[in-house]
């Protein structure tokens, strides 16, 4: 197949100062939970993207001085020359496939807590450090500013020594010293670095000039700048100080990378923002500068990408999350295989890896984070290890991915689904408010399965243990999913809540299926992810009065990790949902619930027509147990292995189900160690300076 000529514009080379990108696909800097802690994983992950056709591959944040320490965040680091070889690993992996490598230098200002270095943070003027953490940053004097400029220059030179083609001057996401100087919210200085926008932009100008002077014509200098903070006139706005900054510095850098601040605004989930939501804020930038512009917007539509360039909005299609979901997105467009693109669903599970300080994962791409440690490639997979036939029971996310990957390996696969359509609980999720894009997990896999002649799909095919044994398959994977519990058992309640069997209780599955309810509906959230809040939103949309109760101090508290929590709570408040926080269920009756304060133990009551406990799910593993409990019958049937996968093994994230199905397919007919980790680990060894004497 060949590329559609409508998309030729996306494959034009673009000059960025002294270097040239081979096309317009630009992986902007993004965190990944690997960095200098897992440098081999980080390098392999970036290298795969270069192989997939991205013309520019950037690092995550790279702190360059110990006074701007962002520990415990797992990011890149260039404090000294000893860090250069680690950073060079990524450069080598990226350049092997002809891409440019970019390094995003960061100095945190009031967001640098310096937990490792124990230095006092410093920024424009004295202020508390970010978050709820005690401590303050001190005001910088002229010596501090001169030192910062020198340290940034040293960081740029180390990036050049590591082999990078592009070095960033970073002023965005409310995470950087330079943004602290620009924003009137954080800059109350009265010297030449404060007051007017010309003064507030002075340090950014000086650092750009310092960096260009340091690297000369050997590297391009990019500026990443938040043109809008969504904080009103006190902050940076696209029609105010944001535009003024770009106008004042228009052609000074070699490239403008423009976005929103903070990160939770820049990387909104699909539940709260459509594809291209940043376009109104950045569409004017190319009118102001003659230098290339890159912007993001979780773009997955190829037509829209081409339109952005042809309309003069951007020169590069910037991406973080779409490049995670499909590292081969550019190559698939170039080869005319648009239907093969794994489109990002905008769930921000990738972001959760950074928040939880672990290597990232992806709902759509189960190989993400496993490129080095497991040797998993997003497009290639080892051929089958035998001529065995495989039965997969269940067509949800785990079953679909297992069947697809097994089929890609060359196995003869039969997928049997009890229902009349494939997708499992994805079908229900995609019908809930804001989650329509989650159907892409189902749709991409079904599309790929239809291309595999060695995979058979059977719907409306509920199987019992006897039927499974009769079919003569060599391997059987059970992916029959899970159901929500009715009795309130969960994180807070290790035993059923008294009164759960009163007859008025409805499970989330029943609410999704539009079971009859009486108001007011009280949703009890001990799951702490998205389900309780989307059920509340749906019920309000149906005209119901809804009360939301949770033992947590906030609604949907785990969604801090996907950067949604604030928006979820705001939406429920706007919808008129009554929020009762810090309370757990004590008893359930026909007309009211007894609640207990998690702090004091005090009891209160709330009127309730329909209680909906959102607490935990049970595996639907009856078939698996029936088969496993009769090993003699399995042996007689010639079934060499029986495996529960996905929610049938343990209910969890959709990402976990997809990963479980993929892992099953990868490991079939392979030796998997039981007593050692089945993946590589970084081993940095001991420092040459060890052991040290303590004074």
Domain that holds residue 642: 389-481+620-667
| Same domain, yes or no: 612 and 624 | no
| Same domain, yes or no: 406 and 343 | no
Stretch 151-161: mean pLDDT, rounded? 98
Highest mean pLDDT among 33-37, 69-73, 593-597: 593-597
Query: Residue 628 is inside which H or E element, if any?
Result: helix 622-628
| Same domain, yes or no: 474 and 500 | no
Specify the CATH number for the domain of residue 567.
3.50.50.60
The answer to whether position 636 is within a domain reads: yes
pLDDT at 175: 83
Burial of 602 (0-12, 13-18, 19+ CB in 10 A): exposed
| Same domain, yes or no: 501 and 476 | no
Handedness of CA 112, 113, 118, 121 (dihedral sign): positive
Are 534 and 564 in contact by the 8 Å Cβ rule? The answer is no
Q: CA 488: distance to chain centroid?
A: 30
C-alpha distance from residue 260 to each of 227, 293, 306, 354 (Å): 6, 14, 22, 19
- Confidence band for 152, pLDDT divided at 50, 70 and 90: very high
- Number of Cβ atoms within 10 Å of the Cβ of 446: 16
- Confidence band for 685, pLDDT divided at 50, 70 and 90: low
Specify the CATH number for the domain of residue 103.
3.20.20.70
Are 333 and 309 in contact by the 8 Å Cβ rule? The answer is no
Which two three-digit tokens encode residue 527? Answer: 């799951």
pLDDT at 695: 44
DSSP-based three-state secondary structure for 121 = coil
Q: How many domains does the chain have?
A: 3
Q: Cα separation of 589 and 585, whole Å?
A: 11
| Same domain, yes or no: 545 and 505 | yes
| Same domain, yes or no: 199 and 231 | yes
The answer to whether position 369 is within a domain reads: no
pLDDT at 239: 95
Q: Is the pLDDT of residue 686 over 60?
A: no
Which two three-digit tokens encode residue 368? Answer: 């993400």
Q: Cα separation of 686 and 109, whole Å?
A: 32
As a dihedral over the C-alpha atoms of residue 156, residue 159, residue 160, residue 163, rounded to 10 degrees, the angle is -170
The DSSP bridge partners found for residue 138 are 122
| Same domain, yes or no: 518 and 608 | yes
The answer to whether position 33 is within a domain reads: yes
The answer to whether position 372 is within a domain reads: no
- Number of Cβ atoms within 10 Å of the Cβ of 150: 12
DSSP type of residue 582 = S
Tens digits of residue pLDDT in 438-476: 999 999 999 999 999 999 999 999 999 999 999 999 999
668 contact partners, CB below 8 Å, separation of at least 6: 384, 385, 388, 390, 406, 409, 411, 475, 641
| Same domain, yes or no: 496 and 591 | yes
- Confidence band for 690, pLDDT divided at 50, 70 and 90: very low
pLDDT at 694: 45
DSSP-based three-state secondary structure for 694 = coil
The answer to whether position 676 is within a domain reads: no
Paired sense of beta strands 25-27 and 641-644, if any:
unpaired
Which is more confidently placed, 162 or 672? 162
The answer to whether position 103 is within a domain reads: yes
Tens digits of residue pLDDT in 555-611: 999 999 999 999 999 999 999 999 999 999 999 998 999 999 999 999 999 999 999
Q: In the listed set 340, 355, 370, which residue is the last one of a domain according to the structure?
A: 355
DSSP-based three-state secondary structure for 158 = helix
Q: What is the DSSP string of 260-295?
A: ESSHHHHT--TTT--TTTTHHHHTTHHHH-SS-EEE
Tens digits of residue pLDDT in 445-455: 999 999 999 99
Specify the CATH number for the domain of residue 468.
3.40.50.720
| Same domain, yes or no: 23 and 157 | yes
The answer to whether position 13 is within a domain reads: yes
| Same domain, yes or no: 413 and 516 | no
C-alpha distance from residue 508 to each of 220, 407, 425, 549, 609 (Å): 53, 34, 12, 15, 15
What's the mean per-residue pLDDT of the chain?
96
| Same domain, yes or no: 610 and 649 | no
DSSP-based three-state secondary structure for 415 = strand
Q: Cα separation of 165 and 159, whole Å?
A: 9
Catalytic residues: 31, 170, 173, 266
Q: Cα separation of 265 and 390, whole Å?
A: 45
| Same domain, yes or no: 261 and 350 | yes
Stretch 364-387: mean pLDDT, rounded? 97
- Confidence band for 132, pLDDT divided at 50, 70 and 90: confident
pLDDT at 684: 57
Tens digits of residue pLDDT in 296-347: 999 999 999 999 999 999 999 999 999 999 999 999 999 999 999 999 999 9
Q: What is the DSSP string of 487-549?
A: S--SSS-SSPPTTTTSS----HHHHHTT----SSEEEEESS-SSHHHHHHHHHHHTT--EEEE
Query: Residue 565 is inside which H or E element, if any?
Result: helix 565-574
Q: In the listed set 617, 649, 680, which residue is the last one of a domain according to the structure?
A: 617
pLDDT at 665: 98
The answer to whether position 384 is within a domain reads: no
Per 3-state DSSP, what percentage of the chain is helix, strand, and coil (rounded to 5)?
Answer: 35, 20, 50
The DSSP bridge partners found for residue 521 are 546, 610
The DSSP bridge partners found for residue 524 are 549, 613
Q: Is the pLDDT of residue 692 over 80?
A: no
């Amino acid at each position: 197949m060949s590329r559609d000529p409508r998309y030729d514009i996306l494959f034009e080379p673009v000059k960025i100062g002294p270097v040239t990108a081979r096309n317009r696909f630009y992986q902007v800097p993004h965190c990944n939970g690997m960095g200098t802690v897992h440098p081999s994983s980080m390098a392999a992950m970036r290298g795969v993207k270069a192989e997939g056709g991205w013309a520019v591959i950037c690092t995550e944040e790279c702190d360059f001085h110990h006074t701007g320490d962002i520990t415990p965040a797992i990011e890149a680091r260039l404090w000294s020359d000893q860090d250069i070889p680690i950073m060079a690993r990524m450069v080598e992996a990226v350049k092997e496939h002809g891409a440019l490598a970019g390094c995003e230098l960061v100095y945190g200002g009031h967001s640098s807590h310096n937990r490792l270095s124990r230095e006092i943070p410093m920024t424009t003027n004295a202020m508390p450090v970010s978050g709820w953490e005690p401590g303050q940053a001190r005001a910088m004097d002229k010596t501090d500013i001169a030192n910062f400029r020198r340290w940034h220059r040293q960081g740029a030179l180390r990036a050049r020594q590591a082999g990078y083609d592009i070095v960033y001057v970073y002023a965005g996401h409310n995470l950087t010293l330079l943004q602290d100087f620009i924003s009137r919210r954080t800059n109350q200085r009265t010297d030449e670095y404060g007051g007017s926008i010309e003064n507030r932009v002075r340090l950014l100008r000086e650092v750009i000039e310092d960096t260009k002077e340091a690297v000369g014509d050997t590297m391009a200098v990019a500026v990443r700048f938040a043109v809008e903070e969504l904080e009103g006139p006190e902050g940076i706005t696209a029609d105010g100080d944001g535009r003024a900054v770009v106008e004042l510095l228009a052609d000074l850098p070699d490239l403008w990378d423009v976005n929103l601040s903070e990160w939770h605004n820049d990387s909104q989930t699909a539940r709260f923002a459509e594809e291209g939501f940043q376009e109104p804020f950045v569409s004017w930038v190319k009118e102001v500068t003659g230098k290339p512009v890159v912007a993001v917007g979780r773009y997955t539509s190829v037509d829209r990408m081409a339109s952005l360039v042809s309309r003069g909005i951007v020169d590069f299609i910037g991406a973080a999350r779409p490049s995670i979901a499909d590292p081969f997105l550019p190559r698939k467009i170039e080869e005319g295989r648009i239907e093969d693109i794994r489109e990002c669903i905008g769930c921000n599970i990738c972001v959760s890896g950074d928040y939880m300080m672990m290597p990232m994962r992806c709902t759509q791409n189960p190989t993400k984070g496993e490129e080095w440690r497991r040797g998993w490639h997003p497009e290639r997979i080892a051929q089958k290890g035998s001529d065995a036939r495989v039965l997969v029971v269940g067509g949800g996310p785990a079953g679909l991915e297992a069947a697809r990957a097994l089929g890609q390996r060359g196995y003869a696969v039969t997928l049997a689904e009890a229902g009349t359509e494939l997708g499992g609980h994805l079908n229900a999720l995609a019908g809930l408010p804001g989650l329509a894009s989650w159907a892409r997990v189902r749709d991409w896999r079904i599309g790929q399965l239809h291309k595999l002649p060695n995979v058979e799909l059977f719907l409306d095919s509920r199987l019992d243990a006897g039927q499974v044994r009769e079919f003569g398959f060599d391997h059987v994977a059970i992916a029959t999913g899970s159901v929500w519990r009715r009795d309130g058992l969960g994180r807070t309640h290790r035993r059923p809540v008294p009164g759960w069997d009163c007859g008025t209780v409805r499970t989330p599955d029943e609410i999704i299926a539009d079971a009859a309810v009486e108001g007011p509906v009280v949703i009890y959230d001990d799951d702490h992810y998205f389900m309780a809040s989307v059920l509340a939103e749906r019920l309000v949309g149906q005209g119901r009065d809804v009360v939301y109760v949770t033992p947590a101090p906030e609604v949907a508290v785990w969604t801090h990790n996907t950067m949604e929590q604030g928006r979820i709570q705001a939406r429920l408040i706007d919808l008129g949902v009554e929020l009762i926080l810090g309370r757990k269920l004590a008893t359930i009756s026909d007309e009211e619930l007894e609640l207990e304060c998690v702090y004091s133990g005090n009891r209160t009551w709330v009127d309730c027509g329909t209680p909906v406990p959102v607490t935990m799910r049970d595996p639907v593993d009856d078939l698996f147990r029936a088969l496993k409990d009769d090993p003699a019958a399995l042996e007689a049937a010639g079934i060499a292995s029986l495996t529960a996968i996905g929610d049938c093994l343990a209910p969890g994230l959709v990402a976990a189900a997809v990963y479980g199905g993929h892992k099953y397919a990868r490991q079939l007919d392979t030796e998997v160690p039981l007593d050692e980790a089945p993946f590589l680990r970084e081993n940095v060894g001991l420092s040459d300076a060890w052991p040290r004497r303590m004074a």
